[in-house]
Structure 1
Amino acid sequence: MDFISPAVEWLVFIFVLAIGLGILTAVVMVVLDISQREDAIRRNYPLIGRFRGLFTKLGEFFRQYFFAMDREEMPFNRAQRDWVYTAAKGEGNTMAFGSTRNLSIPGTPIFVNAVFPPLDDQFAVTKPMQIGPHARHPYMAPSIFNISGMSFGALSQPAVEALSHGAKEAGIWLNTGEGGLSPHHLVAECDIVFQIGTAKFGVRDHDGNLNDDKLRSVAARPQVRMFELKLAQGAKPGKGGILPAAKVDEEVSEIRGVPMGKAAVSPNRHREIDDFNDLLNMIHHIREVTGKPVGFKTVIGSSDAYEELFEMIRARGEECAPDFITIDGGEGGTGAAPMPLMDNVGMPIREALLRIVDMRDRHGLKDRIRIIASGKMVNPGDVAYAICSGADFVTSARGFMFSLGCIQALKCNKNTCPTGITTHDPHLQRGLVVEEKYMKVANFARSVVKEVEMIAHSVGVAEPRLMRRRHVRIVQANGDSVVLRKLRPSFDSDDLSSEQMPNKAPVHAPDSPARRANGV
């Protein structure tokens, strides 16, 4: 007992000291709370009132893990995220017992399976599609699902490198975002879409104007396949990109051509483009300088405004048309955006996509202008619906962030991302191991394409892009579903109503019972 007594005494001393310090700290905090004038709760309920702020900060994490149901959270619920996580691991995405999705909610899409679909060995396989037939170097895009614009700076170095390697592995394109072309985009020699934002990072002169020499230098790289002129993005229509000062380090500063340690805020639009005539002129100029296909990305506020664009294309000739149009929905995401724009501005992708596709087809430009759908599409059903609506390609940003390990911590704008994806903190970046994560990027892309092909196979077509509006029904307020073709008639001659043309399985042998049953 004599041997252990000093140790016990020390433990008792430390315990008493800790209690004393705790009491002293509490007294100091009470005095500070009572004397401060900014927070009424803390002033009236000193010390205890501090727990309100703590619980508010921790609430988003508690909801995610303990309280929210699988289909409840925003912007992405647990069911959506878990599907991506499982797909990224390359594991089977089968489920048991029944769907957790409420199929009676208005707006829910339900795909129309064929009575006699193709046999199991006759899967619907995606075919490459050409973009930019009038460019000197057209692009034969191999995949319907690709990586949307995410800038280096907004994303970390290991995140961009993992996306580059994953894109190469899966055979998809990687959009640079508006932050310019970094060595990390090029590390795996994947197909690249170079985005030109309103600040023209990477291809600008000292005054922020487009520099043709820098444009040619970027285009000279064979892996740069297309150029996308960014007019607007879904999370903040009418406002330019915002890269917080904490993320503008020496490398980002050099690539973008902006001062280090100062927030990089892009103009709200291209100052050289005042109307659609200017837009077509700019597209033509970039295509002539680079020799590559050129399109633009925008958010639709009113489709009426775009009638002028398509009429102008018809008048000037289809060779002047953009090679593609990327439609970003108002539900799109970003690293930093004002809440009023994030919540209240921009047409949702489902409505915007239908309107622009109809306008393109009505003006006879279906084979000339490719439509790329973007905005909160991370699961196969979202992608298949977009293709049924008329999209030629679908791109996703946040889906690929989930494949990298994003946990929806909502810290993208604070340089404190716990997974290392959107931070330049070396300590946090070390958690993102490129050699491990790039295969998850590739697995996710392959899983989406495979399961979209599965849906196409189920509805009885030979290739996903042969899906039409007659192949999907939309749940109405009364609980009934109506075929999309009836709700929104298209100008596609191939898309007859389900009553006029029952689902086909065109890959069946001639004069087979299955062909006759499917109306072939």
Structure 2
Amino acid sequence: MDNSITLQILSFFALILTLAILGLIVTVIVLYFIDINQSTHTIRRNYPVIGRFRYLFEHLGEFFRQYFFAMDREEMPFNRAERSWVYRSAKNIDANIAFGSTRDLSSAGTVMFLNAAFPTLEKDAALPAEVTIGPYCRQPYTTKSLFNISAMSYGALSAPAVRALSAGAKQAGCWLNTGEGGLSPFHLEGGCDLVFQVGTAKYGVRNQEGKLSDDKLRNIANRDQVKMFEVKLSQGAKPGKGGILPAEKVSKEIAEIRGITEGHASISPNGHPDIRSVDELLDLLEHIREITGKPVGFKSVIGDRQWLTDLVNAIKVRGIDRAPDFITIDSCDGGTGAAPQPLMDYVGLPLKESLPWVCDLLTQNGLRERIRVIASGKLITPSKVAWAIACGADFTVSARGFMFALGCIQAMQCHKNTCPTGVTTHDPKLQRGLVPTDKAKRVAHYQQNMTYGVGMLAHACGVAEPRQLKRQHVHIVTQSGMSAPMSQIHPEPVRLIDDAKESTAILDNSMEINNE
């Protein structure tokens, strides 16, 4: 009896195996005739069926390179050493290493901080100083936060990701930029400070004609969490092109928040139709500041420099009170979910060129204390943030650094709605892996450990807190392999004394009035 049952089971599995083999043979035959008769793909036409493996290997190649073949400092856009530091910091675990640095200290552009003979003692160390943005506004914004969350829209990011960022920013005491996709409930949920970004399509503050709505601006400004407004002229990954959100990501909720049609690709204009000159830019900034009562600035990748010189000259004519409250300088090596490769690879200046130049331009014209500078572009480790502060930035922001804190593995799937970690997908099955309460803690830990790390570098250089870092504290390796002072490569600018005194006096008077 037992032998009979065993034989029946074996016969059943044999039948299943036979059917599977027959199914495989039929599939191969069908694919063979499809491949040999199609005319689109040469490889498949010349090598039917076998040629299909090329696409599989091409897809898997980036993952094998990432985990098996690339050295710790080789990968782009972020190498394994950088990502590992972020992951450890976000998890709040030991970030110490042993046996020496794997960093190449002789390649041109390498940054080195000059340690002081007598470093700052722990008892003399201080937290980052408070900085006020928008002293002429009805509601200026004062914050100590050195490192903040850069612009990422709900839509480009998933709801759980935005929830985690909002809650994490609140725990860390930093701000979160909404990105150009408008203000979502998930941005507000955590209770953090928010910077509302006005993109070229005016999402979230647009009327039926797609133009800026004063009523919607007021509604946004009436929320205490919204501390500032940022007009986005351009972003690092695609200077000269607007935001791109694929149609499959435009859900009913996202469409309602943005004021667009569900299921249609969200493609912003490549520039603001109502800003075609520096005067029109200043007019819009002043208009938004008057409507909202809050600090207003703009974000831009620096390419052509003449327009910023023209902007400074226009501010001199109008008066210092009508200047932008801040400028966010984005780098050409910025990142995003979707961008054309020619723009991502070839357009705009890197932060190492644009940041010192903008800071110097403002200093030379007595505007450095009036206009705050925010630096953005691959600043995901303490050394890069400290370098930006030494260059002259008041604040730094990062998007991809905080994506790593959320669990991003650099799978390069951001624009395909197939993100395996749930950060940039709207697929509920993939979002399930991202638990906002857990990831919020990682976001906060990352920001706090970043601040600690920058402070550690500052103390090694002999200053009490990060914002006291100057160019004299940094050396940069040149083409010869030897380093030179950053203050020699980017000399500290000479102020125009009259303008500097006048602007400082007006600024001090404004601060006293606001304090009263």
Q: When the two structures are superposed, what TM-score results if normalisation uses the length of structure 2? A: 0.94
Q: Deviations over 1:438-469 (max 9, x none)?
A: 00000000011100000000001112111111
One-letter amino acid of the counterpart of residue 355, structure 2: L
Identify the match of residue 55 of structure 1 among 54, 57, 79.
Answer: 57
Counterparts of 2:475 and 2:207 in 1: how far apart (Å)?
Answer: 51
Local SS of the residue matching 2:414: coil
Aligned-pair CA distance for 1:492: 6.7
**Is 1:285 equivalent to 2:278 in the alignment?**
no
- Structure 1 letter corresponding to 2:235: Q
- Residues of 1 paired with 2:206 and 2:19: CA distance? 62
Q: Is 1:246 matched with 2:223?
A: no
- How far did 1:32 drift? 1.6
Secondary structure of 2:373 counterpart = strand
Structure 2 counterpart of 1:473, which letter? H
Question: For 1:122 and 1:454, how far apart are their aligned partners in 2?
Answer: 12
Deviations 1:109-150 (A, max 9, x none): 000110111223322421121000000100002201000000
Residue 507 of structure 2 is matched in structure 1 by: none
Equivalent of 2:328 in 326, 329, 337: 326
Q: Quick one: which amino acid aligns to residue 150 of structure 1?
A: M
Bigger mean CA offset, 36-45 vs 117-126 = 117-126
Question: Could you tell me which residue of structure 1 aligns to residue 377 of structure 2?
Answer: 375
Once residues 64 and 323 of structure 1 are traced to their aligned partners in structure 2, the CA distance between those partners, rounded to angstroms, is 42
Alpha-carbon offset, residue 13 of structure 1: 2.1
Tell which deviates more after alignment, 47-56 or 121-130: 121-130
Select 1:466's aligned residue among 465, 468, 473. 468
Q: Is the 8 A contact 1:124 1:456 kept in 2?
A: no
* CA offset digits 1:266-311 (Å, max 9, x no partner): 1111111111011111111111110000000001112233111111
Secondary structure of the residue that 2:328 maps to in structure 1?
strand
Structure 2: runs of 5+ lacking an equivalent:
496-516
Aligned partner of 2:426 among 424, 427, 440 = 424
The range that moved more, 114-123 or 461-470, is: 114-123
Per-residue CA distance 1:215-261 (angstroms, 9 max, x = gap): 01100011110000111101111111111111110100110000000
Amino acid at match of 2:229: F
Distance 1:71 1:346 in 2: 25
Report the counterpart of residue 97 of structure 1 in structure 2.
99
1:350 to 2:352 alignment: yes
Give the letter aligned to residue 48 of structure 2.
P
SS at match of 1:195: strand
Q: Distance in 1 between matches of 2:183 and 2:122?
A: 43
- Kept after mapping to 1: 8 A contact 2:278/2:307: no
User: What is aligned with 1:386?
Assistant: 388
- The answer for the alignment partner of 2:416 in structure 1 is 414
2-structure distance, mates of 1:150, 1:105: 33
> What SS does the corresponding residue of 2:176 show, helix, strand or coil?
strand
| Partner Cα separation in structure 2 for residue 213 and residue 33 of structure 1 | 59
Q: What is the rounded CA distance, in whole Å, between the counterparts of 2:220 and 2:4 in structure 1? A: 79
Task: Determine if the alignment matches structure 1 residue 481 to structure 2 residue 483.
Answer: yes
Match for residue 30 of structure 1 among 29, 32, 38:
32
Is 1:232–1:299's contact at 8 Å kept on the other side of the alignment? Answer: yes
The separation in 2 between residues aligned to 1:458 and 1:204, in whole angstroms, is 49
% of aligned pairs identical?
A: 57
The residue type paired with residue 345 of structure 1 is V
Question: Aligned partners of 1:299 and 1:467: how far apart in 2?
Answer: 24
Confirm whether residue 152 of structure 1 aligns to residue 120 of structure 2: no
Q: In structure 1, list runs of 5 or more residues that go unmatched.
A: 494-520
| Contact 2:338/2:414 (<8 A) preserved | yes
Q: Distance in 2 between matches of 1:479 and 1:350?
A: 18
1:299–1:347 contact (8 Å) kept in structure 2 = yes
Partner residue of 1:516? none
CA contact (8 A) 1:112 1:459 kept: yes
| Distance in 2 separating the partners of 1:20 and 1:423 | 38
- Per-residue CA distance 1:4-53 (angstroms, 9 max, x = gap): 12212222222222222222221221222111111111111112111111
How many pairs align? 493
Aligned with 1:64 (options 44, 63, 66):
66
In structure 2, how many angstroms separate the alpha carbons of the residues matched to 1:273 and 1:27? Answer: 60
Corresponding letter in the other structure for 1:456 = A
2:512 — aligned with what?
Answer: none
Partner residue in 1 for 2:302: 300
Q: Distance in 2 between matches of 1:492 and 1:113?
A: 26
3-state SS, counterpart of residue 103 of structure 1: coil
Displacement of 1:190 after TM fit?
0.6
Q: Distance in 1 between matches of 2:168 and 2:44?
A: 50
1:514 aligned partner: none
Q: Considering only aligned residues, what root-mean-square deviation do their CA atoms show, in Å?
A: 1.1
Select 1:198's aligned residue among 197, 200, 210: 200
Q: Secondary structure at the match of 1:107?
A: coil
Secondary structure at the counterpart of residue 124 of structure 2: coil
Q: Is the 8 A contact 1:388 1:467 kept in 2?
A: yes
Deviates more, 1:85-94 or 1:300-309: 300-309
Determine the structure 2 residue equivalent to 1:182. 184
The answer (yes or no) to whether the contact 1:303–1:355 under 8 Å persists in 2 is no
Q: What is the identity, as a one-letter code, of the residue corresponding to 1:30?
A: Y
Moved more, 84-93 or 296-305: 296-305
Paired with 2:413 and 2:253, the residues of 1 have a C-alpha distance of: 22
Does the Cα contact within 8 Å between 1:164 and 1:174 map onto a contact in 2?
yes
CA shift, 1:371, in A, is 0.4
Match of 2:9 among 7, 10, 16: 7
Instruction: Within 5 Å, give how 1:161-172 maps onto structure 2.
Output: 161-172=163-174
SS in structure 1 at match of 2:122: coil
Distance 1:193 1:64 in 2: 34
Q: Aligned partners of 1:38, 1:116: CA distance in 2, in Å?
A: 69
Match of 2:442 in 1: 440
Look up the match of 2:499.
none
Aligned amino acid, residue 453 of structure 1: G
* 1:314 Cα deviation after fit: 1.6
SS of corresponding position for 2:276? coil
Q: Report the alpha carbon displacement of residue 376 of structure 1 after superposing the two structures with TM.
A: 1.1
Mean Cα deviation higher: 476-485 or 27-36:
27-36
Distance 2:78 2:108 in 1: 18
Q: Tell me if the contact between 2:372 and 2:394 (Cα under 8 Å) persists in the aligned partners.
A: yes
C-alpha separation in 1, matches of 2:29 and 2:246: 38
Higher helix share: 2
Q: Indicate the larger mover: 92-101 or 6-15.
A: 6-15
Whole-angstrom CA distance in 2 between matches of 1:22 and 1:357 = 66
> Separation in 2 of the partners of 1:281 and 1:48?
62
